[in-house]
Amino acid sequence: MIDDPSQQHPSAPLQTSDPSDSRAPKSAESATADSAKDAANRPASSGLDTMSHEGVPRDLAHMSGNASQLDPELIALPRVRTRVGPVLAVSMVVFCVYLLAQLTADLRFSQRGDEPLTFASAGDLLAATSDLGTDVYVELPAVPDRSYVSRVRQSPADAGFRVLPVQGTNGRLLLHIDGHIWRNETRYDENYRGRLRPLSAMPFADELRQHWAEHKSVARFIGPDDARAALAESASLSSGPSGPTESGGVRQRVLVTTGDHIAIAADTAVRVTRRRADRVDIEVIASEALPDAQAWSAALADIGLVPAGATAKDGPLGSWVFTVPEGIVDGADGAGPRATADEVVAAVQSQLETAKLFTARALAVEEELPATWGQLSLADRVGMDRVDGDRADDDGAALAVGDVRVPWSEVVWLMVDVPRTWPGGPSSDPSSDEDGDGEIWVLLVGEQPELYWYALPLCGLLALGALLFLWALIRTMRESKS
């Protein structure tokens, strides 16, 4: 729609244009002339003229024409390179070398074969450690001493790992087992496979030494045969020259039931566990026919196991216990002056079953005789009615515990309280291993070479980084000299 000026409202003022006013609308001919004049005055530029847009001010459009006129001196200036300072270069080289040193053991173990080296016993493994080296993948049968387990963990909430000495190694071989019960695999044998490392290379070596030093006294058990051999050796040491210990006694190495050796002196506390062959306990419980202790006393007296009117002492869980005296025990079928404690118990139990007293059972009587190692000796059996005559190696000797003589057939074991020694030696000082027999080794159960697949590429990257920063350090030093 085109508006006709003549159709304006009569009251509206008439708008006129001043030719001298630059804001006045121009005619098409004047606009074309101005554009041609601007184009003639604009400097020529190569390429696309991005500043000729109508929205760009004329002064910026005029300046854009000088963009191609670059200063040759500025172009000739060298580009500034990124510099690596000597402090940064040395720090990175040291850091990479340190990580490489820490990963060397893992790299060595990762290159072991998939099949472990098999050993028949822990002793064979310890004998071959000098030739094997460290970080070896091995497998062997071993029986850990679970009575003296130590737990290694970072916090009380962490299950950590269990460290157990292997029996028969004098603590020179330790098993490092996962302490979480749900992560341990079910074992049907005592066969262990893992990574063999020296204890000195483990991070918990100092903490383990401190733990052993804090728990100084441990109980060890000596079997009858080993006790007889040790007492015979002790008698020979007492009659000959010997070196005193800190306690003033003669220290000797004694073999215990675990196959280890302990250091023992004359004042070492000993408890002799004796299973008497001249006395048997009968434990009974109430039944419909025999509801109380009086009824049981009469029933046992009828078959000749207790005297008439014998009284009982209260046993566990509402039971009663009767004691069969020595004279009646010797009269039982299968028992006699030369019977062992187990044979006497079997004879009394057979007599109870023959009488159809099925709610009664025969129990061996055990007692402990406290003494010291110096109070124990080998004695003869002169004047003893009950002798150890069924042993093939019987030499007519008994164990003298002070004034009491005990037949060797009645000796179960000797429990001794000894200072806890640092693994590897019999020294009585847990903080010193000067008497050690060699390096202490730890078997990391469950670790396999394939678990360390990352060691080789990581070491390669660290080596490359160390070389790059070493080259940067050398280059920086050369430029500083020039």
**Mean of pLDDT values over 178-197:** 83
Measure the CA–CA gap between 383 and 404, rounded to whole angstroms: 12
Is a pLDDT exceeding 60 seen at residue 331? no
Weakest-pLDDT range from 83-87, 92-96, 417-421: 417-421
Position 57 confidence tier, pLDDT thresholds 50, 70, 90: low
Query: Per residue in 17-47, pLDDT tens?
Result: 454 454 545 555 555 555 555 555 555 544 4
Weakest-pLDDT range from 77-81, 304-308, 349-353, 415-419: 77-81
Measure the CA–CA gap between 441 and 449, rounded to whole angstroms: 18
The amino acid occupying position 402 is: G
- For a pLDDT cut of 70, what percent of the chain falls above it? 71
Q: How far is CA 32 from CA 26, 29, 96, in A?
A: 10, 5, 74
Is a pLDDT exceeding 80 seen at residue 125? yes
**Mean of pLDDT values over 283-300:** 92
For 465-478, the three-class secondary structure string (H helix, E strand, C coil) is: HHHHHHHHHHHHHH
Instruction: List the beta strands (DSSP E) in 9-160.
Output: 117-118, 136-141, 150-152
Weakest-pLDDT range from 23-32, 223-232, 305-314, 399-408: 23-32
